[in-house]
Amino acid sequence: MSTAEVHDDGLGRLGLLASAISGRALRVAPGEPGEPAWTDGRVVFVDADSGPRERVAALAVQASLLAAGSLHADVVRRLQRRPALARRYLGVEGHRALAAIADLLPRSVRSLIDAAVAARADSPAASLAAALSREAIADPPHSFGAIRARPLLAIDRAEGSAATHQPAPREQRGVLAELAEDDDDGTAVDFSSPVGGGGALGRLLGHVLGVVRQLNGGGPPGADAPTHRTRAAPPAGGHPVLSHGMAERVEESAVGVQGTTYPEWDVHQRRYRRDWCTVQEVAPRPAHSAPPLAADRYGLRRALLRLGTGFDRCQRRVQGDDIDIDAVVEARVMAIAGSAPDEAVYVENLRRRRDLAVLLLLDTSGSAAEPGAAGHTVHEQQRAAAAALTVALHELGDRVALYAYHSRGRSAVHVAPVKRFDDDLDALVMRRLHGLVPGAYSRLGAAIRHGAAVLESWGGTSRRLLVVLSDGLAYDHGYELACGAADARRALAEARRRGTGCVCLTIGAGTDADTLRRVFGSAAHAAIPRTEQLRQVIGPLFRSALRSAEVPRRRGGQR
């Protein structure tokens, strides 16, 4: 038998341990020598040349991440093409995932858990929020391996499943403990018990096979058993968002069930009403059909091209802002050797990296159904603008989300996620957008606060922009025009103070300029008769909004 076959056989025996920890069928296979361990959700790849203790630790960490929901597709999409963020996330979430199922782990693996780090987060979303923050996070140990987003997402699409996985049932934990006790130092696990035997391994295998039967309809495997898993519902909590203003706290926004509470500004009492409004995220109902995605229908890309770009450090440039030490050393060596040295020995900072997240907030209250300019309703024109902006920003490489809102009193402010930041821009998004029907009222301040909170939590960039598409009529039960205008102005100011630029667009509506000024205050805003005129105003508006958010952001960085 070859060395590779010996390795394969030895690693294959660890698959049962990985399956028991993760709560799903997993294989263990050799990865590239010297490479950190990783998983695609079906297979855990570990370095076959590493020692037994290192292999057990590596597979246990990867299996624990699967068990704790740490590699849910919604989270992994945020980590795609962002290796530094993935390492920071793993540096927190790895400890949290291990701690969540510590009683399932061999003793040698439990020693990897840093209790202080594990206590920093109580969910994958909290670990991601910590990774996105500026707080110091130590690099994960080598045994934690790595998170490879692309294989995980490929398997998720292939299986049509985004389910999270829970730790093994409690009755299974005792069996695993027996397996762990068989080898106190964790360097090996005995897999020689016969299948179906009375020992720890036999009983563990019975539990694992029992779970498989339940997943496959409860009967014996055969032609009548399902051959695939159906897509699981999203987590009951939806995306976690921050509730800001006078009542800053973290809550979980439940789609259609629970809500996120926000304060509201009382213009008469000159104070906030704490936890006054409840925002619920409700799933939009897609239309049966929708027009195809139109590439830059209104010529917006040119106006948006220079917005929200960050600096890239480009080495080996003929001119620049700093010296490229490696290039200078090589040039000196070439000169000593008698060759003509390369003159490209500078580092130049070029503003060409996209660094902008935009959340579009579309007003779908009843007033948007009023006739507008050019023979279309206000809703139709603002919907077209929302689609055009979403497509243009997406094509430029910016992170973009699209939400719609209306309300029926302070306890029922409904926000519909047409496209979340990590959703693909596809035909389903257009069907959701064209399925929106105007109705009810507009509690604009609560919608702005929720949109700003989602943007801050899930935007993932240093520059953020909230774009409100509304006719400017903020009105609801107990939220008359003066109250609504003052609250909306206050909500926009809150967002700008936290470093989010705000733009307000009114398209095709007959709202007078004084009303718009009262509602939108000093936020960048414009009213245009037709969507075709959008490209004439968005460049200056977006730049002004981003500049207004720069000052609070710089002040926050100095504190």
Can you give the three-state secondary structure of 328-376, one letter per residue? HHHHHHHHHCCCCCCCCCEEEEEEEEECEEEEEEEECCHHHHCECHHHC
Nearest alpha carbon to residue 89 among 61, 139, 127, 62: 127
Mean pLDDT (the chain, rounded): 78
Angle subtended at Cα 132 by Cα 130 and Cα 134, rounded to the nearest 5 degrees: 80
Res 238: pLDDT: 35
Alpha helices in 244-308 (DSSP H): 301-304
CA distance 413 to 477: 11
DSSP assignment letter at 177? H
Task: With cut-offs at 50, 70 and 90, classify the pLDDT of residue 160.
Answer: low
| Percentage of residues in the chain having pLDDT higher than 70 | 76
Domains for the chain: give ranges and CATH numbers: 3-215 (no CATH), 241-299+356-553 (3.40.50.410), 309-354 (no CATH)
SS3 content of the chain, % helix, strand, coil (to 5): 45, 20, 40
Res 557: pLDDT: 47
pLDDT digits (tens, 9 = 90+) for 409-445: 999 999 999 999 999 999 999 999 999 999 999 999 9
CA distance 387 to 389: 6
Q: What is the CA radius of gyration of the chain?
A: 27
pLDDT digits (tens, 9 = 90+) for 351-387: 556 789 999 999 999 989 888 877 889 999 999 999 9
Instruction: Let me know: does 383 contact 362? Beta carbons within 8 Å.
Output: yes
Helix (H, G, I), strand (E, B) or coil at 38: strand
Choice between 311 and 269, residue whose per-residue pLDDT is larger: 269
Task: With cut-offs at 50, 70 and 90, classify the pLDDT of residue 166.
Answer: very low
CA dihedral 33, 34, 40, 42 (to 10 degrees): 50
pLDDT digits (tens, 9 = 90+) for 18-77: 887 887 778 888 888 888 999 999 899 998 788 888 888 998 999 999 988 899 888 899
pLDDT digits (tens, 9 = 90+) for 470-484: 998 898 988 988 899
Helix axes 83-100, 124-132, angle to 10 degrees: 140
- What is the C-alpha end-to-end distance of the chain, expressed in Å? 64
